[in-house]
Structure 1
Amino acid sequence: MNHTEAHTPTGLGERMRTLRTRSGLKQQDLASQDISISYISLIESGKRTPSDAVLSAIADKLGCSVEYLRTGRDGHELGETHLKLAFGEMALRNGANGEALQTFSEVLAHRSVLDASMTRRALVGQATALEKLGRLEAAIPILEDLTHDPALAAGSDEWCRIAVALCRCYRNSGDITVSIEIGEQALAKLDSLGLDVTMDHIQLGSTLMESYHMRGDLTRAYLLGERLLQAAEAEGSYAARGAVYWNAGLVANSRGKLNEALALVERALAMMAEGDNQRHVGMLKMNFGYLLLQSDLPDPDRAKELLESAQQSLAEVGNAGELASCEISLADAEKALGHWDEAVAHAERALGLLGTEPRIQSVAARVTLAEIHFLKQEPERALQYLKAATRQLQHFPPSQECTLNWRYIGDLWQRHGEDVKEALKAYDMALSSAGVARTPHLQVSLADDRR
């Protein structure tokens, strides 16, 4: 019998009365020599709690389990639900994110058979699948609700996992300020608890470090990296140490220390390769390939090799945003090698992966396409992409990525002699995004000119 279809009774008495009426039984049919009709009535009205022996006798007559009468969760259904949850989590590990989302959604459609722990587990799985599918606006509210669950113990592995996911989702959606607030509050909570360092704590710090990096707050990112490196070395996990070296490398690159960045990311790659986290290895190869393209002596052939290997890994376990970033870097590698048609194909694939949601990677893909079309002597096509990138970038809050993209746009306008005014506007936006305001006397001068 499917006890959960239609309205699911919430109390023992209501479940008992619902099953009795569905079976066409009267109260006297449940009575016996030891159980009076009036006692049956009191149980159904919620005024009496039966003993195990009475509950067992009533369950036999109703054709259900004692577990269902007591909790509303049938033993068989509970077992099936545990199995479904395990399947959903396995699908996530294997990169079958759409299948995982469907499985968790099916589990959550029958919440009446779930206890609080199973509900949280299914919700975390659902949010993780949504994030990996690039549906950040759907994942964030689920994670926000989970953080307010009073049964969620601060400092637990589950709590850390939710905090990391929420910090990461806000960061990847472009709301760097909120991402940092969440990460800082979570780290402060862990510090106040005086807990031993775990992989979850290091992962939270690494996620916050990347948010600092994206905002351009390189001093905080560097100082947090120094602290995390010590903790990661003490913790001993290859994955933990690799994650910290990875982010330390990105920060070193932004501080203009490219050789140091390459060394740190290469060391992280070696550490991650010792483990079995295919996604982390793929991401590290992608970042290492990107850094090789940015160096004073770029190595596009080696970068392309690393990026293609990263692409294979991320195609199985990465999300749309990660794959798109890899495609953009591959476009840069092919561009450096003079393979312009291949570069265009990679950048266009990145746009296809990103869809219609506003992403900073979409801006980068369009600017890359603009540069390639300029190189191909196709200025009209190039200008279409450049103007589209400019319009889109205006809607993002200030961040290091915005600054870099505005600078890239300004350089393209200037380099190809299309429009000096547009170049100046882009450079002005880059300065504003970096937090450099106009001087007061210049603002007055400009205002006078307009009059």
Structure 2
Amino acid sequence: MWVARTSSSQGAAAVTTSDLVGLRIKTVRRQRGLSQAQLAHPELSDSYVSLIESGKRTPTPAVLELLAAKLDCSLSYLINGVTAEQMEDIELALGYARLALENGEVTEARTRFAELLENSNLSGLTSLRQEAEFGLALATEAAGDLDEAISLMLRLREEELPQERGLEVAIALCRAYRESERLHEAVEVGERLLIGDTREPWTDLRVELGATLLMAYYERGDMLRARQFAAELLNAADALGTPRAIVAANWNASIVARAAGHYDEAVAFIERALAVQLEHGQPRNTARMRVQAARTKLRTGAQDPATVRTVLHAAIREFEQTSTSTIDQAILYLELACAEYMSGDLDEAAEHAAKCRDLLPRYGHVSGAEANLLLGRIYGAAGQVDEAREHAAAVERWLRPLPDSRRSASHWYATAETMEQLGDTDRAVEAYQRALACAGL
């Protein structure tokens, strides 16, 4: 076996198993026809080389560099058992997988990450393997397979991870739980790292995790906690002064402010977030934030439906070119359907509401309930009462699996109102009763 030589600056942290390192040194030394004394001379003693080869001594980074040079092999091979060419192939494959995910080619990204993880050479490269596993989890989430994405993230979280990687995994896991309507687990993940007797200083990643936790509070209906925590995040982001923290805090604080009826605050927060995002942010979050800004302005009356509709149609192209998840896409089409309904374009509104619903996992997702409720109103406005009642009744199938919360109560109440308007009195009464139960009344 010929092992190519390459320069490297990898440190001692990469040396994980001294006996494997020693075995590789012995193997290459014998392939080169060298004795231990010849390899050692003049810098080292032959007894020291013998101890390294037997795994009884762990060589320092400097000694490893020296031995790699004397053996004319790559340092990466001595440390990880991977040649320079193999390492280059792995890094190239990882780069292609990352690029596919960033460009919204979710299926391609998922395939590439999965194929990379089947490469036996990756097993000894802990950092790169963890990056590939996290990439697979993100691609799986983006494809809408939330249960599998959560499973992948939980397995990864069981490992010893660098601090930043651990926070990234926590953010994605908290988000995936929230998107799955598993709000208790989402809160638990966020609070485990952020809430406690000894708090770590705020960083960009900790603010992002906080913003994800904030949405779990909001969706759980804990508005008092959400308002308090939003204020804490905004203060932390302002103290940091970094674009990433400012965007995360203002983005989700806007949603909480709108839900609390503070419309001017909601618009101000989202406009600040979008302005910073456009200057500094990544395409995926820029596309998602345009939708959130349009949603806020539409629902607070800060912008007319026709203008919002134009913005959302442009956002479709952005979504197609980035790694937005199917949940993100569903929300985009739901907001577009709302804008078209308010503009009087009922056919387009129905088409996009149906597209939203079809993108979501069935059942137990609040956006699916909102889509069916909107379809009920659209068909009711068109005079097609039977179809309207059918869609309104379908809301129940989406809401029943969800936990009781103020958020669920508001959707049950809206469903009851719609059914009442459509003349379906019995179902309206049932929906009103369900709304009261969810509110704890």
TM range (shorter): 0.7 to 0.9
Aligned pair 1:161/2:168, yes or no?
A: yes
Aligned pair 1:127/2:133, yes or no?
A: no
Does the aligned pair in 1 maintain the 2:274–2:290 contact within 8 Å?
A: yes
Cα 1:303/1:76, change in 2 over 3 Å? same
Q: Following the alignment from structure 1 to structure 2, what is the Cα–Cα distance between the partners of residues 47 and 279? A: 51
Aligned mate of 2:158, from 126, 148, 156: 148
Aligned pair 1:240/2:249, yes or no?
A: no
Which residue of structure 2 aligns with residue 303 of structure 1?
A: 308
Q: Following the alignment from structure 1 to structure 2, what is the Cα–Cα distance between the partners of residues 48 and 231? A: 49
Report deviation, 1:217: 0.9
Q: Deviations over 1:129-163 (max 9, x none)?
A: 1111111111101111222213x24xx22111111
Which residue of structure 1 aligns with residue 14 of structure 2?
A: none
Does the aligned pair in 2 maintain the 1:315–1:323 contact within 8 Å?
A: no
Q: Deviations over 1:243-266 (max 9, x none)?
A: 211211111111122232222222
Alignment-mate amino acid for residue 213 of structure 1? Y
Does the aligned pair in 1 maintain the 2:238–2:246 contact within 8 Å?
A: yes
Report deviation, 1:301: 1.6
Q: Following the alignment from structure 1 to structure 2, what is the Cα–Cα distance between the partners of residues 333 and 161? A: 34
% of aligned pairs identical? 29
Alignment-mate amino acid for residue 135 of structure 1? D
Q: How does 1:9-408 map to 2 (within 5 A)?
A: 71-113=80-122, 114-150=124-160, 152-153=161-162, 156-188=163-195, 192=198, 194-195=200-201, 197-295=202-300, 299-317=304-322, 318-354=324-360, 356=362, 358-408=364-414
Does the aligned pair in 1 maintain the 2:220–2:407 contact within 8 Å?
A: yes
Does the aligned pair in 2 maintain the 1:111–1:119 contact within 8 Å?
A: no
Any stretches of 5+ residues in structure 1 without a counterpart? 4-10, 20-28, 36-42, 438-451
Q: Following the alignment from structure 1 to structure 2, what is the Cα–Cα distance between the partners of residues 33 and 200? A: 51
Report deviation, 1:215: 0.9
Does the aligned pair in 2 maintain the 1:292–1:300 contact within 8 Å?
A: no
TM-score under structure 2 length normalisation: 0.81
Which residue of structure 1 aligns with residue 44 of structure 2?
A: none
Which deviates more from structure 2 when the two are superposed, residues 266-275 or residues 137-146? 266-275
Cα 1:423/1:193, change in 2 over 3 Å? closer
Does the aligned pair in 1 maintain the 2:354–2:371 contact within 8 Å?
A: yes
- Match of 2:159, SS state, is coil
Does the aligned pair in 2 maintain the 1:347–1:369 contact within 8 Å?
A: yes
Report deviation, 1:308: 2.1
**RMSD across aligned C-alpha pairs, in angstroms?**
3.4
Does the aligned pair in 1 maintain the 2:97–2:109 contact within 8 Å?
A: yes
Cα 1:378/1:105, change in 2 over 3 Å? same
Alignment-mate amino acid for residue 181 of structure 2? G
Q: Deviations over 1:90-121 (max 9, x none)?
A: 22222222222112111111244341111111
- Match of 1:192, SS state, is coil
Q: Following the alignment from structure 1 to structure 2, what is the Cα–Cα distance between the partners of residues 322 and 128? A: 13
Report deviation, 1:387: 1.9
Report deviation, 1:125: 0.8
Which deviates more from structure 2 when the two are superposed, residues 92-101 or residues 204-213? 92-101
Q: Following the alignment from structure 2 to structure 1, what is the Cα–Cα distance between the partners of residues 435 and 315? A: 31
Does the aligned pair in 2 maintain the 1:130–1:139 contact within 8 Å?
A: yes
Report deviation, 1:226: 1.1
Q: Following the alignment from structure 2 to structure 1, what is the Cα–Cα distance between the partners of residues 267 and 115? A: 45
TM-score under structure 1 length normalisation: 0.79
Report deviation, 1:431: 2.3
Alignment-mate amino acid for residue 270 of structure 2? V
Cα 1:2/1:109, change in 2 over 3 Å? farther
Q: Following the alignment from structure 2 to structure 1, what is the Cα–Cα distance between the partners of residues 79 and 241? A: 47
Q: Following the alignment from structure 1 to structure 2, what is the Cα–Cα distance between the partners of residues 279 and 400? A: 30
Q: Following the alignment from structure 2 to structure 1, what is the Cα–Cα distance between the partners of residues 418 and 370? A: 13
Alignment-mate amino acid for residue 279 of structure 1? R
Q: Following the alignment from structure 1 to structure 2, what is the Cα–Cα distance between the partners of residues 199 and 104? A: 27
Cα 1:108/1:295, change in 2 over 3 Å? same
Alignment-mate amino acid for residue 129 of structure 1? A
Does the aligned pair in 2 maintain the 1:288–1:306 contact within 8 Å?
A: no
Q: Following the alignment from structure 2 to structure 1, what is the Cα–Cα distance between the partners of residues 158 and 103? A: 30
Report deviation, 1:288: 2.4
Q: Deviations over 1:15-51 (max 9, x none)?
A: 99xx9xxxxxxxxx9897959xxxxxxx9xx978899
Q: Deviations over 1:271-290 (max 9, x none)?
A: 22222322323222212222
Which deviates more from structure 2 when the two are superposed, residues 253-262 or residues 156-165? 253-262
Q: How does 1:401-440 map to 2 (within 5 A)?
A: 401-418=407-424, 420-434=425-439, 436-437=440-441
Does the aligned pair in 2 maintain the 1:124–1:162 contact within 8 Å?
A: yes
Report how many residues are paired.
402
Does the aligned pair in 1 maintain the 2:364–2:400 contact within 8 Å?
A: no
Cα 1:33/1:230, change in 2 over 3 Å? closer
- Match of 2:195, SS state, is helix
Report deviation, 1:416: 1.8
Q: Which protein, 1 or 2, shows the higher relative CO under an 8 Å CA cutoff with sep ≥ 6? A: 2
Alignment-mate amino acid for residue 92 of structure 2? L
